[in-house]
Chains A and B, each alone.
Chain A
Amino acid sequence: MKALVRTGRQPAPSVPVQVYTAQRMRLPRLGTYLSDLWTRRHFAQHLIRTQLRTQQSGTVFGQLWLVINPLMLALIYFVLTNILRERSGGAPFLAHLTVCVFAFHLVSTSVTSSARSVTRSGKLILNTAFPRSLLPIAAVLTAFVRFLPTMLVYAVIHLYAGLPIGWHLLWALPVLAELVVFSLGIGLAVSALQVYFRDLSNFLPYAVRLWLYSSPVLYYVDEVPHGIKPLLAWNPLVPMLASWSRVLPEGHVPHLHLMLQGAAWALGALVVGGLFFVSREREFAVRL
């Protein structure tokens, strides 16, 4: 069957032209992809806003719940560790525990809520062409916005415990950036995997719990027995949470090597998770 060829027909110059071709490589051009992502940023913003509204944060108790939930978790762990450990850690340990529980909560809600972000948006994906990574990005940023009020709670504990205040606290910002970028990388990977393995989100809570116990949240990183230390090197959250605790409750400038390790894990996760997601996202429409 011959193609219909009409000579002399020129496309109008003013309209935007889209060309879709078969791509041997599964990756779209990254420059185009990123600029597409940027032009749709309002979609992500609005999605974050509606998610915040629907996740019970529209009411007074909903707002409070954002703070109460992680705070209760921290208090439970504080009681638990005080029973298990021979001595009471006192206020400084409470500060370490709460601030690390809050940071871990940020990572775990980012991961668990991005897991379903793609599969939940079936109809939108089937009917609209847009960069799919906006969905996990919005999920992670929503978790980040929900994390912010917990820092006010920590500030109260910090003051109550009489912990040092100074310029070193600003180091918390790059550590926080590492945590968010790392969560985004994992969130991208997990949300794409969820398309292929729908029971992934059922396993996640167990994985997250195991991850919590193997991270320096319920203990200080220095307390880990020497025999287990090499194992901890494989937990990406160890350098980040160690720096986090060193800066906020312990009041020191973080170790450079831990900052660099954290940055490497965060960027590595973003690159690997991002490339995996982007290489797969064109297939989502037939897999949902």
Chain B
Amino acid sequence: MSSLSVSDAATPRAQADPATPLAVKVEHLSVTYRTSIEKAPTFRNTISRMGRGQRVVREVQAVNDVSFEVPTGTVLGIIGANGAGKSTLMRTIAGILPPSQGRVEVHGQVSTLLSLGVGFNGQLTGRENVVLGGLARGLSREQVQDKYEQIAEFSELGEMMDMPMRTYSSGHGARLGFSIAVHMEPDILLIDEALSTGDARFKRKSAQKMRELVAQARTLFLVSHALGTVKELCEEALWLHQGRLVMRGPTDEVVAAYAEFQEVGETATTLEDF
């Protein structure tokens, strides 16, 4: 199964130029977290649960001993079934979730567009959400002001920028989210399932913008179930299954293997036995 071997996966570009600087290095990363499976964590439930002697904290091993390196300028697609750990991996690279084991090294400013969308407070206007989001990412006030104009223009929301975000449709929210993420001038952009809600025109526009970012030698991680998008945008892909790295290589090969796996329904264990 040599085609599945990760060490085969160096991209043509990387081979041609070994001096390309590193963007992200993930070493033996495992992320395990404890989460509550209660409907609502409250004192009331805790007390009545203690009476019954139940436990509602569950350990989730979302990412399991994953290692890979990504050179600057790569567009990396991340694919895998639901619950494969894709979003957790993205959050760990963004520094939102702490690793349980292993190490993540990130070179450069990261900007995220993660699956839960933007927005901080539905009561606040789009404008205020943009400013607060930018400041929370660590930008200065002047930088946020500069970027605000570009964001507003790219999102094409016009007057809606001054309306509370709760009045936005999911498509409007997604457009604003994408505009914020790409205009933060990140060195590394993480996009998680966020392109699906825009309309066709905005999708084209965002694909165009992503190609621009890549042309500027930015690194881009794209999590998507739309294999077509992954094939179109990414030169390399990474396939996760149940927290493990199954395969990494040129997009076409990985996507083909993944598609076959989903049809055939092989278990990950058969793929692990290299």
Contacts and interface: CB of A to CB of B under 8 A. Distances in A.
Interface of A: 1-12, 15-23, 39-40, 42-43, 46-47, 50, 54, 120-121, 123-130, 134, 195-200, 203, 282-283, 285-287
28 contacts: A1-B6, A1-B244, A9-B20, A9-B22, A9-B71, A10-B21, A15-B21, A15-B187, A20-B92, A20-B99, A22-B30, A22-B100, A23-B98, A39-B138, A42-B135, A42-B140, A46-B132, A121-B120, A121-B121, A123-B120, A124-B136, A127-B114, A127-B117, A128-B96, A128-B137, A129-B110, A130-B136, A287-B36
B140 A3 contact: no
Given A9-B22, A40-B135, A42-B140, A127 B116 contact: yes
Contact of A128 (B112, B121, B128, B272): B112
A4 B116 contact: no
A40 B138 contact: yes
Given A6-B10, A21-B103, A198-B42, A129 B95 contact: yes
A23 B113 CA distance: 26
Nearest to B25: A11
A127 B46 CA distance: 29
Nearest to A127: B114
Contacts of A123: 116-120
A1 B9 CA distance: 13
B99 A21 contact: yes
B33 interface: yes
Nearest to B68: A4
A50 B99 contact: no
A196 B132 contact: no
A16 B68 CA distance: 20
B233 interface: no
Contacts of A129: 94-96, 110
B131 interface: yes
B107 A11 contact: yes
Interface in B97-155: 97-110, 112-114, 116-121, 123-124, 128, 131-133, 135-138, 140-141
A130 B138 CA distance: 8
A6 B18 CA distance: 8
Contact of A197 (B7, B46, B100, B135): B46
B136 A20 contact: no
Nearest to A6: B69
Given A9-B69, A123-B119, A126-B114, A199 B44 contact: yes
Nearest to A197: B43
Contact of A4 (B69, B113, B136): B69
Given A18-B105, A21-B99, A124 B133 contact: yes
B65 interface: yes
Nearest to B60: A286
Contacts of B105: 11, 17-20
Nearest to B192: A127
B136 A11 contact: no
Interface residue tally on B, bucketed by range: 35 or more
Given A3-B28, A6-B14, A15-B107, A285 B97 contact: yes
B79 interface: no
A157 to B, nearest CB: 35
Task: Specify the main secondary structure of chain B where it touches its partner.
Answer: mixed
Contacts of B94: 128-129
Contacts of B138: 39-40, 130
B183 to A, nearest CB: 15
Given A17-B108, A40-B135, A199-B43, 15 more contacts: A2-B6, A4-B68, A4-B69, A6-B71, A9-B71, A12-B21, A12-B107, A15-B21, A16-B107, A20-B104, A21-B99, A22-B98, A22-B103, A286-B35, A286-B97
Given A4-B69, A127-B118, A9 B104 contact: no
A207 to B, nearest CB: 12
Given A9-B19, A19-B105, A1 B124 contact: no
A19 B104 contact: yes
B53 interface: no
A21 B46 CA distance: 32
Contacts of A125: 96
A283 B100 CA distance: 11
Contacts of B274: 1
B41 interface: yes
A198 to B, nearest CB: 5
A40 B68 contact: no
Interface string B72-83: 100000000000
Nearest to A128: B136
Nearest to A131: B136
Given A1-B244, A47-B132, A22 B18 contact: no
A198 B40 contact: yes
A44 B160 CA distance: 25
B61 interface: no
Contact of B95 (A7, A20, A22, A46): A20
Contacts of B19: 8-10
Interface in B32-67: 33-36, 40-44, 46, 60, 65, 67
Given A43-B132, A129-B94, A11 B118 contact: no
